Structure 1
C-alpha cells in the first residue's frame, strides 16, 4: 500500500487518544480497590521453600548452641553438608560465618582469617559483613597484624551506624593502635567510645586512658598526646606525667618548662596547686646557681618542633659546660615564646627582672626579635638568636648577636666557593617568587657583583610550578646575545656524521653556573627541564637542598651541583661527628640545624664565662672583641652585623650522593 501522510497522522492521533484515556482511567480508579489489591498477600508458589528456610534457621540456632557449649567439632560436622550447597544457597553467608567462628574456637586462627577474608569477597552486601569485619579485626590483632586490623575495622565503622558495631569497632581499634604503638590514636578511639557511653559507665575507659599514659607512653608519645589535646583531657594527664618524669630524672629544664605550660593551659585544674609548689621549688633552685641563662623558645603551636630541637642543643651544651664549670654554677630558665605578640615583651621582661640572667638565647623568629628589640640594651643582657635570618642584628642594639645561618651568610660562602675554588665568574639566577627566594636572589646578585662576577640574567618561578620553559628560554636568549653559542652537535664516532649543511646546532651556555634555590621537589623538576633545554651547567643551591629526597627525584640532572649548609650529617669533620653521636645518644634522633645553631649559641656563652665573664655586659664585651669562640665548624667570631661568621659546609652531588667538599 502506498504511504498516505494524512492516514498516518490520523492513526497516530487515535493511538495517542487511546493512551490518554487509559491514563485518565487509571488516575480516577477508586482508591479502596487499589488498597485492596496492595494488601492481598502473595502466596508462596512453593510452600516447601518456607519449610526449608525454617529448618535451616533451626540448624543455625543448633550450631550456635554447640559453639556456646564449647563444641566446635560438632558444630563443624553439622555445617559440612550445609556448606557443600555452595555460595548461592540460601543462608550460605550465615553458614560461612559460623564456620569461621567454629574454626576460631578450635584455635585455628589463620584458617579462620582465610575464611573471613573469602567471606568479605563473596558476600560484600551481606547483612553479616559488619560482624565478619569485627571478627576479622579481632583475629588480626591476635596475630599482631595491626595495620590489617586498622584497615578492616575502620571499614566496619565507616559502613555501619549500628551502635553495637560502633562500640565494638572503637574498642578493637584502640587495641590495634595500642599494638602498633600509636597511643595517641588509641586514646582517640577510647574517647570516641566514651562519647557514646553513659556517664556512670565511663570509669573503665578513663582507667584505660590513664593506664596508657602512666605505663606505656614514652616522652615522645606523651608530647604527641599533649599536642592533640593541648588544653583539655587527657592533655592534662599527659603534662602531669611529663612533669613527674622530668622531676624524677632531675631534669630541671624540662620540668620547669612543663610546669609553666601546665599553669598556663590548666590554671583551674586540681593539680594546679601542686604545680605552683613545684614551680616555686624550681625557681629557688634556678636562682641558687651562680649564673643563670634564659632561653625563649616556642614549646607549643606550629613552631614547637623547632623550639624542642633548639632546646635539645642548649641542653647538650649545658651538660658539657657543667663538666668544666661545675653543676652548681649554671642554671637555665626557659620561657615559651608561642604566646600572643603583644604579651611576649612583658613575659621576657619579667624573666629578666626575676632571674637576672647573664645571657638569653632566643627568640627563633625574626619578627619576635623585633618585638623584644629594646630589651637587651635596657637590661644589659646579650640576646643570641640561634635561627632568625637577620643579616644585621646590631641594628636593634649593642647587645644583639646571632649564631644563625642567615641568608646573606649562606650566599656569601656559596659565592666565595664558586668563584675562588671552582673558578666561576658568570652566573644566571632562577629563584622562587617568594619573599625568601627574592631575598636569596638579591643577595646572590649583590655578592657576585661585589666579587667582580657577572650576572647574565635572572628569572623567577612560582612555587610548585610544572612549567618554567618561558623563563628558561628568556635566560637562553639573553645569554645568546652575550656569550652563549649555537654550535654543531658532536656525533659519537660510531654514528655517521651528517652531510655538510645538515649539521644539528646545539645551545652551549656562555655562563658557568645557575643559581637555583628552592624546595627539593621544585629543584628536581627544574633541573630536569634545564637539561631538556640544553642548559647543562653546574647548579648552585640553598640549604633547602639538604634533603635525601632531592637525590631520589633529580639525581641524574644534579650531578656536579653544589649547595651550602651549617650542618651536614655525613660531615668528615670529627667535631661535628662527635656532636651528632652525643645528640643521638641523648635524644634518640638526628640533630637539626636548629639544634646545631642553638648548641653553638650556648657554647659561646659558656666560653665567655670560662674566660672570666660574670655579668651580661662582660659577656657582651667578649662577644664583641674575641675571634676564637668554639663552634662546630671550628673557631669563629661575630661580624660587624652581630652574626657569627660560622663555617658553611659546601656539599656537592657526586655519583648520586651528597659529598662534603670543603
Structure 2
C-alpha cells in the first residue's frame, strides 16, 4: 500500500531518526536529551508518542505519530494519530497545518469516532485563523449529531465566538446560551463575560425574540435588564420601569439588581400619569357623528356602572372630538397624552392617525374599528370589533362541521367589502376541507344581475345549435311520438304551491339549459338594500334549495322588509344580539333602555364592552404603569361581555365568540353553532314573481 501522504510532512525514516537525534539539542520541553529508538509495532509507537506528548516534548511526539502513519498505514490507530498531530500543531501555533491534518482525517475516516472531535478541533483552528464564515458554513452539517457535554460546550462556544466576530450578536447570544447549559464550572465565568458583551449590542426586537428562546436563567436575566435599559434609552420610560420591576421581582439577587433599582428611581418622575383618567376619541361631528354619539352612550353607561362599584376615586372620562378627520384625530390624541390619561378608547373612524400617536407616546389605545392592520402599528394598539375573518370562520365552521356541507358558492359585490369576504371565506372553507365551486362578482352600481347569476350556474352561454337539435323532434322522421316504441318521459310532478319552486313551463326561456346548482350554500356579502335586488333574482333563476349565508350587515329590519320572503332560513353572524337569553345581555339592554329610552345596537354594545375592559385594566390595584395596562390586556384571558367573550392575541387583535342567527319569518333567531336547525330554507321560500 502506498504511504499516506500527510500535508508534505511524510519523511523517510532515516531523516526522521536524524531529526530525533538533532532534537536532542533542543531546549527541555521540546525534545528529549536522548531519544529512545523507534518502536517496531504500531502500539509501541503510539505509547512512545503519547509519552513524549505528556512530557511536553511536542516535536518528538509529532515525529513519532508521523512514523506511525508512515510505517503502519493500515493500523486502526491512524485516526487517533491524525487527531493528535492536529492538536500538537495547534499547540505549536501552526493552525494552518492543523486544519490540513483534521481534513485528512475526515476525508479518509469520516465515520470513525475521532471524526467528530476532528470537526470541532478544526472549527477552533479556523476561528484562530479568523476564518469565521467557514465555521458557520461547516457547522450545520454535523452540529445536531454532537454528543457529550464537553463537545457541545466547545462547539456552541466556537459558534458564539464566530457570530460575535461577524457582529451577528443575536446569534452569538443564542449559541452562548446553548453553551451555558453544558459549560464546566471553570469556564462559566469567561462565557458569561462574552455573553454580557454580546447582549449589550442587541436591538430591541432581537431581545424580544431571544427571550422566547433562551433557557439559561442567567442569560434571561442579562436580556431582561438590557431590554429595560434599551427602552429607557428610547425614552419609553413607562415600559422601562415596568420591565425593571418585573426583572427585580424575578432576579432580586442578580448582579445587575443594584443598577436596576437605581434606574427605577431615576425614571420614577418620568412615568407619572392619571390612573383614573380614560381618554375617549370619537367622531362627534362630521359624517360619522351618528356613530360617535351612539358609542358615547355605551361608554358613559359603562362608566356609571364601574364608578358605582368603585371604592376609591371615581374614574374620569376625557372626551375629544375627532371630527371624523384623521388630522384632528391625531391632534386630539396628542391632547389626551398631554393630559396624562391612563389609556384611550376609540376612535371609530380615522383610527390609524390616532393609533400612531398613541404608539409613539406609549399609551394603550383600544380602537373600535373594522380596519385591518391597525394593530400592526405597535404593541400599544388594540382593536375590539367584529372582523371579516371572525365571520368567515364561524360560518364555515357551522356549515362544514355542524351541517356537514362541503360545496359552496360566493356571489359578491366587486368592491373592497365584497372582495375581503370572498377571500376570508375561501380561506376558511379550504382550511376545513370544503371547496368553492362557483364564484362570481357583480357591479354594485347595477340593478340587473341576470348575466352574473347565469354565469354562476352555467347558463350564461347560448346552447350550441347541434345540442338544440337534440332537444327538438327530428323533421325527417316526424314527431317523436310517432316513432315505434316511443314512451313519453316520466316528468317529476311540480306542485305550483310549493314555496321556492316554479314550473319551467311558465318561464320564457324554455330552451335554456337547466341551471347547474352544484353547491349547497351561497355567501352574498352585501347590504340589505342590495340584497333586496340580488336575492329575488337568485330565486328567479332557480338558485333554490341552498342555504343563504350573510354577514353581520344582514342583521337588519330593512332586509326583512326588502327581501324577507326570499331569505328564510338564511344564516348570518352578529357581534351583538339584543334578544339574547344571556342574563348579562338582558341586564345591559334593560339598563341602556332605562337611561336612553331606546334599544342598544352593536356600536353601543361594543363601545360599552371596550370601556369596561379598559377601565378594569387601568383600575386594577396591581397595575400602576401604562405598561401594566397593556400587559393585562395581553394576558389572553377571555373577558365576558355583552358582545360575547373576548381576549386579545399577541398582536392586539380580538379573539371573539360571535352570535349565529337564522332568519325565521320576520325574526332573527339565535341558533346553537354546534347543532343543526330543525328546518331549513327550502321549505320557506315563496316563488319568484314572473317578469
TM-score by length of 1: 0.51
| Aligned equivalent of 1:554 | 563
Change (3 A) 1:563 1:493: closer
- Give 1:534 shift: 1.1
- Give 1:570 shift: 2.1
Counterpart selection for 1:527 from 521, 526, 535: 535
Whether 2:547 is the aligned partner of 1:538: answer yes
Whether 2:579 is the aligned partner of 1:570: answer yes
| Aligned equivalent of 2:391 | 410
Change (3 A) 1:503 1:383: closer
Provide the C-alpha distance between the structure 1 equivalents of 2:373 and 2:396, rounded to a whole number of angstroms.
Answer: 19
Provide the C-alpha distance between the structure 1 equivalents of 2:525 and 2:548, rounded to a whole number of angstroms.
Answer: 9
| Aligned equivalent of 1:604 | 613
Query: Which deviates more from structure 2 when the two are superposed, residues 340-349 or residues 291-300?
Result: 340-349
| Aligned equivalent of 1:301 | 286
Matched position secondary structure for 1:373: helix
- Give 1:602 shift: 0.9
Change (3 A) 1:478 1:571: farther
| Aligned equivalent of 2:343 | 359
Deviation string, structure 1 residues 560-612 (Cα, Å, up to 9, x no partner)? 11111111222222211211111111111221211111111111112223463
Q: Which has the larger radius of gyration?
A: 2
Counterpart selection for 1:490 from 485, 489, 492: 492
Change (3 A) 1:488 1:545: farther
Provide the C-alpha distance between the structure 2 equivalents of 1:369 and 1:288, rounded to a whole number of angstroms.
Answer: 23
- Give 1:412 shift: 2.0
Whether 2:629 is the aligned partner of 1:644: answer no
Whether 2:671 is the aligned partner of 1:661: answer yes
Change (3 A) 1:603 1:291: same
The within-5 A match list for 1:405-444 is: 405-444=386-425
Counterpart selection for 2:637 from 627, 636, 651: 627
Change (3 A) 1:379 1:511: same
The within-5 A match list for 1:339-350 is: 340-350=325-335
Whether 2:298 is the aligned partner of 1:313: answer yes
Change (3 A) 1:568 1:479: farther
- Give 1:288 shift: 11
- Give 1:530 shift: 0.9
Matched position secondary structure for 1:563: strand
- Give 1:505 shift: 8.0
Provide the C-alpha distance between the structure 1 equivalents of 2:623 and 2:641, rounded to a whole number of angstroms.
Answer: 18
| Aligned equivalent of 2:90 | none
- Give 1:513 shift: 0.5
Count of matched residue positions in the alignment of Structure 1 and Structure 2: 363
- Give 1:326 shift: 3.6
Change (3 A) 1:347 1:635: closer
- Give 1:654 shift: 1.8
Matched position secondary structure for 1:295: strand
Deviation string, structure 1 residues 301-321 (Cα, Å, up to 9, x no partner)? 221110011111111111111
Structure 1: which 5+ residue stretches go unaligned?
1-286, 481-485
- Give 1:448 shift: 1.6
Counterpart selection for 1:466 from 447, 454, 460: 447
Contact 2:333 2:358 in 1 (8 A): no
Matched position secondary structure for 1:418: helix
- Give 1:348 shift: 1.3
Considering only aligned residues, what root-mean-square deviation do their CA atoms show, in Å? 3.1
Contact 2:278 2:342 in 1 (8 A): yes
Matched position secondary structure for 2:371: coil
Contact 1:289 1:331 in 2 (8 A): no
| Aligned equivalent of 1:385 | 367
Contact 1:382 1:399 in 2 (8 A): yes
| Aligned equivalent of 1:133 | none
Provide the C-alpha distance between the structure 2 equivalents of 1:462 and 1:656, rounded to a whole number of angstroms.
Answer: 29
Provide the C-alpha distance between the structure 2 equivalents of 1:494 and 1:393, rounded to a whole number of angstroms.
Answer: 53
| Aligned equivalent of 1:328 | 313
Provide the C-alpha distance between the structure 1 equivalents of 2:354 and 2:360, rounded to a whole number of angstroms.
Answer: 11
- Give 1:556 shift: 2.2
- Give 1:443 shift: 1.5
Contact 1:289 1:328 in 2 (8 A): no
Provide the C-alpha distance between the structure 2 equivalents of 1:395 and 1:479, rounded to a whole number of angstroms.
Answer: 44
Query: Which deviates more from structure 2 when the two are superposed, residues 560-569 or residues 396-405?
Result: 560-569
- Give 1:639 shift: 2.6
Change (3 A) 1:357 1:509: same
- Give 1:447 shift: 1.9
- Give 1:464 shift: 5.2
Change (3 A) 1:642 1:464: same
Change (3 A) 1:431 1:621: same
Contact 1:637 1:645 in 2 (8 A): yes
Provide the C-alpha distance between the structure 2 equivalents of 1:393 and 1:570, rounded to a whole number of angstroms.
Answer: 31
Matched position secondary structure for 1:333: strand
Deviation string, structure 1 residues 324-343 (Cα, Å, up to 9, x no partner)? 22473311100000165334
- Give 1:352 shift: 0.7
- Give 1:492 shift: 4.9
Matched position secondary structure for 1:374: helix
Contact 1:465 1:522 in 2 (8 A): no
Contact 1:431 1:437 in 2 (8 A): yes
Provide the C-alpha distance between the structure 2 equivalents of 1:468 and 1:438, rounded to a whole number of angstroms.
Answer: 17
Contact 1:539 1:562 in 2 (8 A): yes
Provide the C-alpha distance between the structure 1 equivalents of 2:636 and 2:495, rounded to a whole number of angstroms.
Answer: 62
Contact 1:489 1:503 in 2 (8 A): no
Contact 1:456 1:478 in 2 (8 A): no
Contact 1:391 1:643 in 2 (8 A): no
Change (3 A) 1:336 1:489: farther
Provide the C-alpha distance between the structure 2 equivalents of 1:424 and 1:542, rounded to a whole number of angstroms.
Answer: 18
Provide the C-alpha distance between the structure 1 equivalents of 2:460 and 2:396, rounded to a whole number of angstroms.
Answer: 20
Change (3 A) 1:326 1:428: same
- Give 1:535 shift: 0.9
Provide the C-alpha distance between the structure 1 equivalents of 2:490 and 2:530, rounded to a whole number of angstroms.
Answer: 31
Larger fraction in helix: 1
Provide the C-alpha distance between the structure 2 equivalents of 1:554 and 1:489, rounded to a whole number of angstroms.
Answer: 32
Provide the C-alpha distance between the structure 1 equivalents of 2:400 and 2:324, rounded to a whole number of angstroms.
Answer: 44
Contact 1:457 1:478 in 2 (8 A): no
Change (3 A) 1:618 1:525: same
